[in-house]
């Protein structure tokens, strides 16, 4: 899996949850401040990504994920993609 596709998938999922256009989602966006996404919604996003990529995100505290880039880093690290 290519990192560009993962970023695209993550941005699309975030846009759906935040009810914004995918073009409005930046890797620098803060979930709560910029996108109005709370901890419960972040957990749902992470769970959806776990199912999509057939993996588990163990010991991840969603409250410590503040930006879209941090989520991308967690997903790519978990999948072994650099």
Alpha carbon 14 to its chain's center: 7
CATH code, domain with 15: 1.10.1200.10
What's the mean pLDDT in 59-75?
A: 89
Domain residues for 32?
3-78
Task: Read off the pLDDT of residues 8-59 as tens digits, 9 standing for 90 and up.
Answer: 999 999 999 999 999 999 999 999 999 999 999 999 999 999 999 998 887 7
Please tell me the predicted confidence (pLDDT) of residue 56.
85
Total number of domains in the chain: 1
Please tell me the predicted confidence (pLDDT) of residue 49.
94
Please tell me the predicted confidence (pLDDT) of residue 61.
78
Per residue, what are the HEC states of 9-70? HHHHHHHHHHCCCHHHCCCCCECCCCCCCCHHHHHHHHHHHHHHCCCCCCCCCHHHCCEHHH
Please tell me the predicted confidence (pLDDT) of residue 60.
80
CA 57 – CA 42 distance, rounded (Å)? 13
Tokens of 50: 């776990």
């Amino acid at each position: 899996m290519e990192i560009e596709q993962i970023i695209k998938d993550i941005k699309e999922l975030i846009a759906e949850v935040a009810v914004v256009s995918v073009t409005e989602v930046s890797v620098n966006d803060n979930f709560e401040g910029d996108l109005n996404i709370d901890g419960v919604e972040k957990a749902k996003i992470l769970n959806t990504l776990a199912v999509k990529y057939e993996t588990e995100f163990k010991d991840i505290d969603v409250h410590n994920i503040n930006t879209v880039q941090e989520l991308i880093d967690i997903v790519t690290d978990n999948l072994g993609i650099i």
